[in-house]
Structure 1
Amino acid sequence: MHKLGISVYPEHSTPEKDLAYMKMAAKYGFSRIFTCLLSASHDPEVIKKEFGAFVKNAHELGFEVAADTNPQVFEALGAGPEDLAIFHELGLDIIRLDGHFDERQDVLITRNPYGIRIEFNGSSDADLERLVRHGADRRNMIICHNFYPERYSGLSQAVFDRFNEKWSSLGMTTAAFVSSQQKETFGPWQVFQGLPTLEADRTLPIDAQVRHMVACEVIDDILIGNAYASEEELKAMASVKLTNTTIKMEPEEGIGESEKKAVYGYSHTGRTDASEYYIRSSFPRMDYRQTSIPARACDKPVFTRGDVLVVNDNLAHYRGEVEIVLTQIENDGQRNLAGHIAETDLRILDEMEKRPDHVFEII
């Protein structure tokens, strides 16, 4: 089950602003908060007083709270892998390790008596399988990717996929970051260029970022890296269907009602025996055996990647089938052009191409 989350940085804001933001996010069903101790005051008494109050407010609103740490933070707070008392006192649900201890200590921290889950850096080559073999408690281990404040520094899709293949094989809950497009948002550092995991997400609308994360089918929790997202963004993010892939189509002018029903009226399942030319949803055909879909004129001699097609009366046996073009095909008059996958969503098509049997909806 996917969870949605926000990031809050108390050291760069005020308790009043943070509380208002948390209340707004809670209203839209958000349930995770990421925060950072790397850039916070390392005075234990200040942390207990100010950070503890922040965590208490978050819990009262139904959030679980993860804090980014490293060995230097532990040392400053008088903590250690075998002594998480101060983190328990603060009420933290999750400790994210931006940097590691040695193997023995990384094993022991997962077996802390407080039930604090340990979140390992997903944007790394950490050998977590080895930790499990040497006694780490898999049930207490989760994954969270990095975010990247510097423009052009975010993960490529290929690197993201490589990391996620490893985490998926371990069966651990995995989180990643998307980015608000609001101006003057911030994170733990004085860089203001968004905070995504994937570089391709940095400038996209937030709902498109979330749809892509869902389509990847390997990310469980989706967190906004920078603060503060707008209420419109929180609402848009919360409106994304999280149970299956959704992909946005820009409809062709003149699209018929029968075509609209075939495209928008079904949860589609791509065929596992699909060709290299298109993702193929055959189920709508069952409802169009006796229903006409007249051929519509189209001046494109060929259909190109991202075109959404509906088979028409000229190929009656397949009438109603919905196809999303992957590789250029001839326009032979047997398919109507219903629309085009939106530019923001074309990389979702890349994910669908990797696994043609995606369950998806066209929106």
Structure 2
Amino acid sequence: MERRLGISIYPEHSIMEEDKKYIDLAKKYGFKRIFMCLLSANESIEEVKRTFKEIISYANDRGFEVILDIAPNIFDKYSISYDDLSFFNDLGAFGIRLDVGFDGSKEAKISFNPYNLRIEINMSNDVAYIDNIITYKPNKPFIYGCHNFYPQKGTGLPYDFFIKCSERFKKYGLRTAAFITSKEGKIGPWDINDGLCTLEEHRNLPIDVQAKHLFATELIDDVIIGNAYASEEELEALSKVNRYQIELSVEILEETTDVERKIILNEQHHRRGDITHEVVRSTEVRVKYSKDNVEIHNNDISFKKGDILIGNNNFGKYKGELQIALLDSKDERKNKVGRIREEELVLLDFINPWSKFKMVEYKRK
């Protein structure tokens, strides 16, 4: 399934022209989805139609899929029938997200709406909600899942709980989404905005690391920035994230040779299937570089988790093998050639037997 990036727009709290500029900027960097909140709408139905139709039309013309966040009170407030979703179709929406669900039967029924609107289900509960919907035989390709975001510091999901919730949806092969937070974005649906992320541990991480982490779980297909407006620098950083395999940012040591740089940056790495807890081993590179000179340097030190190591000339058949330290160790037959960006050490937990991974150079600002 294609993995995509998204932004969020809050027409009730923003200026239309600024929203349009943000959409254009997101398009420039390959974003495809827009989360748009209707929950906080306080205008008349005529004003809501005017505002939302204009901005959704603008987004549609630029190739975005717009999903509106709603709840049962929206149906009541604007006298919308569950059996007639023409209101959302008239706005130009691609789908609707049910922040609060119904009884399972209702979700299944409206997934067969004549407008082919996607029905996105709240994923952030570890209950049999989606199982119940599936029991009622929905139009499954039109059922999506999307986590909540949490504006209040300290209220985001813990990682283990997030995994349980996500697995409930992914086992059915549904498209899934979760939120990350911008350090620059000040706009959200409510008056509290300590960041708008799904996972609490993401709240203070760089935005690209948040996305890398979500994609690495292989449980999330669409990563959406929860708050607006992210900076162009953040959008660009996200556009460079490899969505299909782990790509580690590595600070390369000054003493690292050209041969070692090639081993680190130019090769498709994969972890050996017969793993060890001490290091991640990428062994095929040693065959390719068996005749190259891997001179000795930075080898008489203790290695720490996240250090990048390459076997030197004293390592016999293992010369040229690339390793990532997982535990403290010391071995003078290995050179320390770099170190994984500190915020990305969490990604090492996802490099399993036979996992593919790449490395890119990172220079701390």
Contact 1:43 1:76 in 2 (8 A): no
Alignment of structure 1 residues 232-247 onto 2, 5 Å:
232-247=233-248
Q: TM-score, normalised by structure 2?
A: 0.94
1:226-259: CA deviations, max 9, x gaps? 0001111111111222232111112223112221
* Paired amino acid for 1:158: D
* Residues 52 and 295 of structure 1: CA distance in aligned 2, closer, same or farther (over 3 Å): same
Q: In structure 1, what is the equivalent of residue 363 of structure 2? A: none
Q: In structure 2, what is the equivalent of residue 360 of structure 1? A: 357
Give 1:84 deviation, angstroms: 0.9
- The alignment partner of 2:121 has SS state of strand
CA distance in 2, matches of 1:130, 1:39: 28
Q: In structure 1, what is the equivalent of residue 136 of structure 2? A: 134
Contact 1:97 1:118 in 2 (8 A): yes
Q: In structure 2, what is the equivalent of residue 342 of structure 1? A: 341
* Residues 126 and 84 of structure 1: CA distance in aligned 2, closer, same or farther (over 3 Å): farther
* Residues 12 and 231 of structure 1: CA distance in aligned 2, closer, same or farther (over 3 Å): same
CA distance in 2, matches of 1:252, 1:347: 21
CA distance in 2, matches of 1:322, 1:158: 31
Alignment of structure 1 residues 102-121 onto 2, 5 Å:
102-121=103-122
Contact 1:279 1:356 in 2 (8 A): no
CA distance in 2, matches of 1:142, 1:356: 30
Give 1:100 deviation, angstroms: 0.7
Q: In structure 2, what is the equivalent of residue 308 of structure 1? A: 308
Contact 1:77 1:86 in 2 (8 A): no
Contact 1:36 1:68 in 2 (8 A): yes
Give 1:126 deviation, angstroms: 4.5
CA distance in 2, matches of 1:61, 1:70: 27
2:269 paired with 1:287: no
- The alignment partner of 1:303 has SS state of coil
Contact 1:307 1:339 in 2 (8 A): yes
CA distance in 1, matches of 2:272, 2:221: 25
Q: In structure 2, what is the equivalent of residue 168 of structure 1? A: 170
- The alignment partner of 2:247 has SS state of strand
Contact 2:311 2:318 in 1 (8 A): yes
Give 1:116 deviation, angstroms: 0.3
Contact 1:215 1:246 in 2 (8 A): no
1:293-326: CA deviations, max 9, x gaps? 12224342x3221111111122221221111111
List gaps (5 residues or longer) in structure 1: none
Give 1:11 deviation, angstroms: 0.5
* Paired amino acid for 2:5: L
- The alignment partner of 2:69 has SS state of strand
Give 1:129 deviation, angstroms: 2.5
2:5 paired with 1:4: yes
Contact 1:271 1:356 in 2 (8 A): yes
2:91 paired with 1:90: yes
| Structural RMSD (CA) | 1.5
Alignment of structure 1 residues 1-363 onto 2, 5 Å:
1-41=2-42, 43-124=44-125, 125-182=127-184, 185-300=186-301, 302-329=302-329, 331-352=330-351, 355-363=352-360
- The alignment partner of 1:10 has SS state of coil
Contact 1:42 1:76 in 2 (8 A): no
Q: TM-score, normalised by structure 1?
A: 0.94
- The alignment partner of 2:276 has SS state of coil
CA distance in 2, matches of 1:103, 1:207: 35
Number of equivalent positions: 358
Give 1:42 deviation, angstroms: 5.4
CA distance in 2, matches of 1:98, 1:249: 39
- The alignment partner of 2:12 has SS state of helix
1:154-186: CA deviations, max 9, x gaps? 11221222222222211111111111111x612
Contact 2:310 2:334 in 1 (8 A): yes
